[in-house]
Structure 1
Amino acid sequence: MNIMKIIKNASYLFAGNIGVRLITAISTILLARYIGPKEYGVFSIAIALATITGYFTDAGLSNTFMREVTKKSAVLSELISSYLRVRIVFGVFASIVAYIFITLSYDDPYLVTIVNWIVYPTIIGMTFMGVGISFFQAKEKMGLSSLITVVQGIGSASALFLGMAFDWSLTIVSKVYGSSFIVAGIFAICLVLKYSPIHKGWNKSLLNQLFVFTVNGIIIMMLPQLGPIILEKVSTLTAVGYFSTAYKIPAVLYQIPGVIATAFYPRLFSYGNELDYVNHRGLSNIELKLMSFIGIGISIPFIVNPEFWIVTLLGEEWKRASDALAILSFMVILQSINYPLADYLTTRGQQSKRTLVMTIGLVVSITSYVLLGKNFGLMGGAFSAILTEITLLLGYSLFIKNSLSFLLKGIKYNIISFGVSFVLYQFLPSSYPIVFIIAVSLFYGLMVLLLDREIFNNLKGFINSKRKASSSIST
């Protein structure tokens, strides 16, 4: 298996996606500080709805596209043409669903205005962005796939920064923010046209088992967005604002290990299509190791001292969100374990099992957000997110053969190192928190590399290959 190529693609995605995600996160956090919890609650609801309806333009279609395009007999131009047509149909459907839901669910004219200016441009943009992103992922040109995300991210972050700089109303900010998706969509299609025609033929195999992927895709994008939407019904807009702010940081953090999954996906599908289950399981375990290693590492700073980050980034007014941030940071760890398990099932043709687990997780999520959110507000919402991820972990594990040994091989050194690092931080002085947060995070990374030789050797091989490439260029 070409693990070096996968790591190379992951590094391209990391450099582009994570950089822009951080910029977007910073701009969103600053916006929250600028407009206050209630106004940010309105903005968060709009973003949550836009994310859900935007993903309706895909709803699992990218998975069937990846499955088909990794087959040896695949005709890429034919598949991308079919993919675009179906996504446009899905985009129209998403717009209709959004209109009905917004009309029936919200009476506040101001809230509806903000939602409309963000939701519909997002649907249009993501319809075409998804085509470009999936196309270049299939060709394993992750740099171009990342570039599309970067264009959109810079556009949306610029909208927020300009809004604060020129004291725009939230309505104007929402208009500019939504427009960034349309611009990115146009850019994506133009980029694809340089490599392939997008109006050539039809391949109905793209629709095989699409319903199963659609159900799963809808659930995947709904789960992270349920918090603000349900809490708005059972709690207050202020609680929504605090929860969304605490949730924002883990949501951005998860994009980092998520990049790793994107790089592994085409190769896993290839092994699955060829029924090469030995290499498939081995590669899945490497994915689990790397994702959990990174997921835990980036969560440690926000678990050991969440108050420092909340107060530093948002001010004392937002201190209430500190405990929720600590709890939600564990969600990143669980997601970095769950995603490889879910990919394991999907790329082996067992998508129906993944969908069943996701459906159960959705029921647990809705129930817990309603009950815990109503009774415990902000903290209830935080615990609901964790409960959902634990449900998914148990469900995926039931369908993977020898799942306990698979999990232990992938995460044991990462979990041990995390436990030691967490305990170590409790004995460090409270002065200069940023210094000791960095120190304990570095300690975690070094401990894993000392214990797990496979991760160490893979990273060492990647670094050596980059050095050789640099040397050959310079000579």
Structure 2
Amino acid sequence: MSIHTTAKPLTQRSLSKMLMKSSSLSFLVNVGGIGIALIMQILLARQLGAVSYGYYSFVTTAVTFLVFPTKLGFDTAIVRYVSSYRAHGQWAEVKGLLRRANQITAGLSLAVTVISLLVVLLMSGSMNGELLYTYIAGLLGIPVMALALLRQSSLQALKEMLHAQLPEKIIRPVVFIALLFLYNAIADTKAGAGEAMLLFLAAMAVSYAIGAWVLKRRLTPKIQGAGTAYNTREWVNVSLSLMFVSGMYLVLGQLNVLMLGWMEGTTEAGIYGAAVRIATLVSFGLTAINMTAAPFISESYAKKDDKQLRHVLSLSNLAGFLFAGVIYVAFLFLNDPILGLFGEEFKRGSLALLILSTGQLVSAFSGQTGTLMTMTGQQKTLGRILAGSAVLNIVLNFVLIPAFGMLGAAVTNLLCTVCWKTAMVIVIRRKLGISIGMFAWMTANKKRGN
């Protein structure tokens, strides 16, 4: 399928300026967020120790898994639909989509929270008090976390990149660190994993309230006087496909931590989880750029503007990969001291960090494959690719983790990343006629050489 221009596009210069300005802002927020998050994780790891940090990391991963079905894929659907509706001035549909998405997500998240709490209480006899406390505190945060993701997507679709990311990237970790120090001072003792999770829940509530207030202020002038149009069946159908895709991403990104914790213990999972968090720094430049690029991709595709779409992809892919290369080289030499910041016992994850970082570099090299497929209606094909990789992930984890521990989990992550990224690049080329990632630059340079 090809895309042909039917609407007058922005000039490449003006589009580049818009992308670079928004992407730079997003990048700076993400840099600040990553730095603060790293400080937060180091403080937690040093305060809790490997065992309690393992509890915290394991429960956080479990809660992340529980949050994704409550969103029903609406977080991604909002970016796709609102960007398209915005391009055509359909504010009644925007209003209806955001209202319906929040209603459905609120109901599902409350149901998942109640069911999960009941399951944990039934299993409480098989876990110690600290782990039980951590589970209860973590599960209570599911509704807030789910609704915060919808709010973030709404601002992202409106191209309000700073306001979309600031609450979760900056405000939440800063508030959490402040509450942690305040708790230690008032209680005259260090917080355990359960107390830390409860403080994180409080920080989440603060950042959500601020983000929701900003969204209301930004959205109200645009939807004032507009009616409310609902296309619930269409939205839910598309969102279900996107939820499946999100679930597969979650499996590929987090299942290793859960399976490692199940087979090797939560301490091993905590050390590996720290390596996973650090490794994401390699591709976080592309992730930051994606926040800006996704609405432009959806808008370009909706207007059938092939030239603008290719320019957005080309510019953002190159910037993301160059950043990834710099961080990857740094990790080759500094992986051991970086993990040592968490504590001496965390240095056991150094080799796993290098393997995971290689997977992130492969991801950055391949470009915005998932974002492009999602924003152009190829979510079903994307879901099938990710499902195949998830099955491979599970099989390899069962084989490699018992034999090699966290190294087996890291190798599984790398192999699956190579598989699904390669498949996406091929599908995008066949279905959309677009070379993506650094492959696009290689193809363009080859043509110029000829």
TM-score by length of 2: 0.83
1:56 is displaced (CA, Å) by: 3.0
- The answer on whether the counterparts of 1:334 and 1:390 sit within 8 Å (CA) in structure 2 is yes
Aligned to 2:369: 341
Corresponding residue to 1:135 among 127, 133, 154: 154
Change (3 A) 1:362 1:155: farther
d(CA) in 1 for partners of 2:160, 2:414:
34
Change (3 A) 1:252 1:34: farther
- Listed as ranges, the matches of 1:418-433 within 5 Å are none
User: Residue type matched to 1:196 in 2?
Assistant: L
1:362 is displaced (CA, Å) by: 1.5
Corresponding residue to 2:292 among 244, 247, 263: 263
- Listed as ranges, the matches of 1:4-403 within 5 Å are 4-71=17-84, 72-75=88-91, 76-96=94-114, 98-99=116-117, 102=120, 107-110=126-129, 111-121=131-141, 123-149=142-168, 150-162=170-182, 166-196=189-219, 201-204=228-231, 205-311=234-340, 313-338=341-366, 340-401=368-429
User: Residue type matched to 1:139 in 2?
Assistant: L
Change (3 A) 1:230 1:396: same
d(CA) in 1 for partners of 2:301, 2:236:
18
1:52 is displaced (CA, Å) by: 2.0
d(CA) in 1 for partners of 2:108, 2:53:
29
Aligned to 1:457: none
CA displacement, residues 178-215 of structure 1 (integer Å, 9 cap, x when unaligned): 22112222222222222335997352243242221110
Aligned to 2:376, what secondary structure does the other structure show?
coil
- The answer on whether the counterparts of 1:6 and 1:264 sit within 8 Å (CA) in structure 2 is yes
Change (3 A) 1:4 1:360: same
CA displacement, residues 226-256 of structure 1 (integer Å, 9 cap, x when unaligned): 1221112111222112211222211355433
Change (3 A) 1:210 1:10: same
Deviates more, 1:44-53 or 1:333-342: 333-342
- The answer on whether the counterparts of 1:268 and 1:280 sit within 8 Å (CA) in structure 2 is yes
Change (3 A) 1:94 1:334: farther
1:290 is displaced (CA, Å) by: 1.8
1:332 is displaced (CA, Å) by: 2.0
Aligned to 1:314, what secondary structure does the other structure show?
coil
1:6 is displaced (CA, Å) by: 1.6
d(CA) in 2 for partners of 1:223, 1:97:
25
Aligned to 1:445: none
- The answer on whether the counterparts of 1:338 and 1:393 sit within 8 Å (CA) in structure 2 is yes
Aligned to 2:104, what secondary structure does the other structure show?
helix
Aligned residues: 413
Change (3 A) 1:79 1:237: closer
CA displacement, residues 321-361 of structure 1 (integer Å, 9 cap, x when unaligned): 11111111112212324550112222222111111111112
Aligned to 2:90, what secondary structure does the other structure show?
coil
- The answer on whether the counterparts of 2:356 and 2:414 sit within 8 Å (CA) in structure 1 is yes
User: Residue type matched to 2:116 in 1?
Assistant: A
- The answer on whether the counterparts of 1:250 and 1:328 sit within 8 Å (CA) in structure 2 is yes
Aligned to 2:6: none
User: Residue type matched to 2:301 in 1?
Assistant: G
Aligned to 2:285, what secondary structure does the other structure show?
helix
Aligned to 2:219, what secondary structure does the other structure show?
coil
1:171 is displaced (CA, Å) by: 2.1
CA displacement, residues 111-132 of structure 1 (integer Å, 9 cap, x when unaligned): 23212202322x1222332232
- The answer on whether the counterparts of 1:82 and 1:206 sit within 8 Å (CA) in structure 2 is no
Aligned to 2:280, what secondary structure does the other structure show?
helix
d(CA) in 2 for partners of 1:389, 1:215:
18
1:164 is displaced (CA, Å) by: 6.2
Deviates more, 1:19-28 or 1:80-89: 80-89
Aligned to 2:409, what secondary structure does the other structure show?
helix
d(CA) in 1 for partners of 2:257, 2:243:
23
d(CA) in 1 for partners of 2:180, 2:331:
24
d(CA) in 2 for partners of 1:105, 1:9:
47
1:42 is displaced (CA, Å) by: 0.9
d(CA) in 1 for partners of 2:161, 2:438:
30
d(CA) in 2 for partners of 1:411, 1:153:
37
- The answer on whether the counterparts of 1:23 and 1:157 sit within 8 Å (CA) in structure 2 is no
CA displacement, residues 234-281 of structure 1 (integer Å, 9 cap, x when unaligned): 112221122112222113554332110110000100111123334323
User: Residue type matched to 1:4 in 2?
Assistant: K
Change (3 A) 1:64 1:28: same
Structure 1 moving runs of 4+ over 6 Å: none
User: Residue type matched to 2:228 in 1?
Assistant: G
1:376 is displaced (CA, Å) by: 0.8
